[in-house]
Amino acid sequence: MPPLVERNQIGKRESLADLIANVEVAQTPFSSQIPKRKRPVNNIHDWQLKKYKTVGHKGVLDNKDADNFGHNARKRVHAVGQKVWDNPAISDFANEATIAGLSRGEMAEQIADSIVAVKWKIERRGLSNEDCQIDDGTNPNETRGVFQWASTTAQTLYPVPDGYRPHADQVFTDALDQLTEEEFKDMCARAYKVRKGPHDLDGYVGVDLKRIITGYSIWTPDKSNHTLARNFFQQATRTLTSVIDMLDLDTGKIKLHLSAHAMTDAETGEDSDYTHRSGIFSDMKMLWLRFTRKPRVRRLEDKGGGPRAIVDAIFMYGCDNPAQLMAVLTDSDS
């Protein structure tokens, strides 16, 4: 008989590494960095808005009695809580199987993945343009995403009062290649006029938007076109650095954070055309996340078919005063 070659061998053991690789990053920068406030006592949480009176500075006549009185009015605004969950389950036989790379077992791995899924749901809801809604027996409670807090028009349910919404010039909606450095500075100047002072902001931006902002360090506007303004510094290590993580402007500093979870599809969680082109900018002291129930794992009774669990959370997002928000909301490059 001819020699046995490898391709014809029978009974070869499977060469399977104790490794399960996932290229996706589990980080949630927005919901991790946003201030966490006290647990709400109701699923509808209220607070008040106000701004200082605009007053003249004329003098008062000597010997004149006060005959003109007024007050500084306040407005009320509301946030709604929302429940999210991801419910892992495996069969009885699957629970007994030995799986490569899963030293803790299949169910433990599925629960760990569900915890990440719930974290992503909280992150994606916060960075959404979805509005709040109230449970009516058909539609569930849902909290308002920060892009919807930045709406320049009144929302349908619990609208932000007139005079406390961002100015139209604070929200950019044209094609991404139209967001020039001057256009962005104009947005910041408009927000400065609302705040009547400089404030440090954080921006959570898609990668395509961040590339546009990084380009501000490479190109400078000319009257007719663009003129190259890049500098190259040779050091011991020849590295081309092209990144902008901080903008230091007349109106304040803006720290940029890359986000891959903005403006995703509410039904599927998939990226939309807005996801990597959009961004939200805010004084982080004005944004908050409240947990009625922090993410938890609740194991259910195994009735014989296999282990099951519920991983869930109840939370709400809010913005103390939406007038300070800026947003880039675009779904096209050009």
pLDDT tens for 268-294 read 999 999 999 999 999 999 999 999 999
Model pLDDT, residue 171: 97
- Determine the average pLDDT of the residues in 38-42: 94
> Greatest CA span in the chain, whole angstroms?
125
Q: What is the pLDDT of residues 74-100, one digit of tens each?
A: 999 999 999 999 999 999 998 888 887
- pLDDT for 244 equals 84
Question: What's CA 247's distance to the chain center, in Å?
Answer: 19
CA dihedral in degrees (184, 35, 262, 220; nearest 10)? Answer: 20
Whole-number pLDDT of residue 330 = 97
Specify the higher pLDDT residue, 14 or 250: 250
Rounded average pLDDT over 252-267: 95
Could you tell me which residue, 243 or 205, shows the higher pLDDT? 205
Mean pLDDT, to the nearest integer, of 235-262? 85
Q: Which two tokens stand for residue 118?
A: 């719930």
- Please report which helix (H) or strand (E) contains residue 295, including its range: strand 287-300
Q: How many CB atoms lie within 10 A of CB 5?
A: 7
Contact 326, 166 (CB under 8 A): yes
- What is the SS3 string spanning 114-181? HHHHHHHHHHHHHCCCCCCECCCCCCCCECCCHHHHCCCCCCCCCCCCCCCCCCHHHEECCCHHHCCH
Q: Is the pLDDT of residue 61 over 60?
A: yes
In this predicted structure, the answer to whether residue 1 has a pLDDT above a threshold of 80 is: no
Phi, psi at 124, each rounded to 5°: -70, -35
Whole-number Å distance between alpha carbons of 290 and 292: 7
Mean pLDDT, to the nearest integer, of 113-120?
A: 94
Greater pLDDT, 129 or 14: 129
Q: What is the pTM of this model?
A: 0.88
Q: Is the pLDDT of residue 165 over 60?
A: yes
Tokens 């009144």, residue located: 154
pLDDT for res 222? 63
> What is the C-alpha separation between 173 and 71, in angstroms, rounded?
37
Both structure tokens of 303: 């009735």
Cα 221 to Cα 327: distance, rounded to the nearest angstrom: 23
Q: What pLDDT is recorded for position 169?
A: 96
| Whole-number percent of the chain with pLDDT over 90 | 72
Q: Which residues contact 126 (CB under 8 A, 6 or more apart)?
A: 30, 31, 34, 145, 146, 289, 317
| Residue 105: predicted pLDDT | 87
**Mean of pLDDT over the chain:** 89
